[in-house]
Amino acid sequence: MQIVMTIVNFIVQWFIMAFIIMLSAKMVAGMEATFMKALIASLIGSLIAAILAWAFQTFLAIFWWAAGIVIFIVWLLIIRYYFQTGCIGALIVAILAFIIYLIFAWLFYVFLVPFLPPLP
């Protein structure tokens, strides 16, 4: 049962992140941003980020701070490639995606969490 919940959680988070990336990319790149591109970009970005985080944690633990920088640069490169933006455009997409994510998280916390049943 735990593996099923993990897979469902991954898929839901993947779709939410793709939607958020698509919204922010639409603001910057316009018609270049589609949901399919956002799905692919968020999947590839998440997989590469997980691999890099594992590699830094396993082999370069003393450089833990560098993992965040490298992962952020990889995300910028993925956004730049999939939505055909420049470096500044990719940075703006990333910042907008972060702001939209914070807004969605706050809305979820305020309006949905009080109605959820308590965890066992």
Asked if residue 114 is part of any domain, the answer here is no
Q: 60 lies in which domain range?
A: 2-104
Asked if residue 79 is part of any domain, the answer here is yes
Tens of pLDDT, residue by residue over 30-76, are 887 889 999 999 999 989 988 988 888 888 777 788 888 999 999 99
User: What is this structure's pTM?
Assistant: 0.80
Number of domains composing the chain: 1
Asked if residue 37 is part of any domain, the answer here is yes
Asked if residue 21 is part of any domain, the answer here is yes
Asked if residue 63 is part of any domain, the answer here is yes
Asked if residue 112 is part of any domain, the answer here is no
Asked if residue 28 is part of any domain, the answer here is yes
Smallest CA-to-CA distance from 74 within 106, 97, 42, 103 is with: 42
Asked if residue 99 is part of any domain, the answer here is yes
